[in-house]
Structure 1
Amino acid sequence: MKKSLFLSCLISIILLFQSCDFSKRIDTTAAVKEMKSRQVKRILPLDITNKADTWGQEIQAVIENPSNTLSLDSISKQFQIRIQSGKALVLKQQNKDKKIQEVLDALDYSLSLKQEIPPSIQKNTTGDSLFYIFINKKQEVILLGFSKSQIVMNIDKPLIK
């Protein structure tokens, strides 16, 4: 009796090991990396603003580079953004957004007082676009318009939490 019980246990253990296929092992580190790459990411509003700021600084450097031979239209197409330039009052008439018009009024006033104006990031009234605004050497206002969806598509992976 004990012999048959032992024999049946031994056969069960052998069958158990036979059913396990150890040849198809998964590399767990690679699996973890793939799971993290497919994980849903969260982008904070601060990340979007920071990306618009760094992107605006890069484009400003291209525009203000003395060896730059590109027109604003070609730079606009290259970076897929909207660029407007001119005097603040002219740009105010071209923009229908109330918040951007107020910013342009303030810039016009500051320029009339000959104040130094650093570049800034402004949101439009609806909050779906960001504008990087700076003054060039000719004392013209340059608006670089970024849509939030475009920034999210082009945001750097390390910034995503």
Structure 2
Amino acid sequence: MKKSLLFTCLASSILSLHSCDFSKRIDTTAAVKEMKNRQVKRILPQDITNKADTWGQEIQAIIENPTNKLSLDSISKQFQISIQSGKAISLKQRNKDQKIQEVLAALDYSQSIKQEVPPSIQKNTAGDSLYYIFINKKQDVILLGFSKSQIVMNIDKPLIK
């Protein structure tokens, strides 16, 4: 009886050790690196604003480049944004958003007193869109409209699935 118990115990020990495959060890440093790469990143409102600013500056450079042959419509389609151009007062009449109307009224006043206006980022009233606003050399106001969801998708494309 003791021999059969000893034999069963020995046989189960051998089987359990045989099922453990020590040749397939995981490289823990590579596993940790992979986990960090797949980790969900948090996007802060400041990150969205910064991306809209840098994206707006890039598009402004394209628009103001003298060798640029693209129309505003083609740039709008290329970057999947809305672009509005014209005098501040006419843009104010076309926009229904109260906050953007106030900004355009302020721009109209600044232009009337010949004040230099740097580019700026403005949110709409609902807060779901950002506008990069600048004045070109012809003294037309150009509004580049970015939806927040579009900005988030362009912040870090590998993390979004």
**Deviations along 1:86-121, whole A, 9 cap, x unmatched?**
000000011000000000000000000000100000
1:32 & 1:106 partners in 2: Cα distance? 52
TM-score normalised over the length of structure 1:
0.87
The separation in 2 between residues aligned to 1:147 and 1:99, in whole angstroms, is 16
User: How much does 1:18 deviate?
Assistant: 2.0
The residue that corresponds to 1:62 in the other structure is 62
How far is 1:62 from its partner?
Answer: 0.2
Query: How far apart are the structure 1 equivalents of 2:19 and 2:69?
Result: 70
Structure 1 partner of 2:84: 84
TM-score by length of 2: 0.87
Query: Are 2:94 and 1:94 equivalent residues in the alignment?
Result: yes
Which has the higher mean CA deviation after the structures are superposed, 136-145 or 26-35?
Answer: 26-35
Name 1:117's counterpart in structure 2. 117
Residue 28 (structure 1) aligns with: 28
| Structure 2 residue identity aligned to 1:112 | S
1:154 aligns with 2:147: no
Question: How many positions carry a matched residue from both structures?
Answer: 159
In 1: Cα distance, 2:28 partner to 2:107 partner: 57
Runs of 4+ in 1 over 3 A off after TM superposition: 4-16
Provide structure 2 residue ranges, at least 5 long, that are not aligned to the other structure.
none
Identical residues among aligned pairs (%): 84
Q: Which runs of 5+ in 1 are unaligned?
A: none
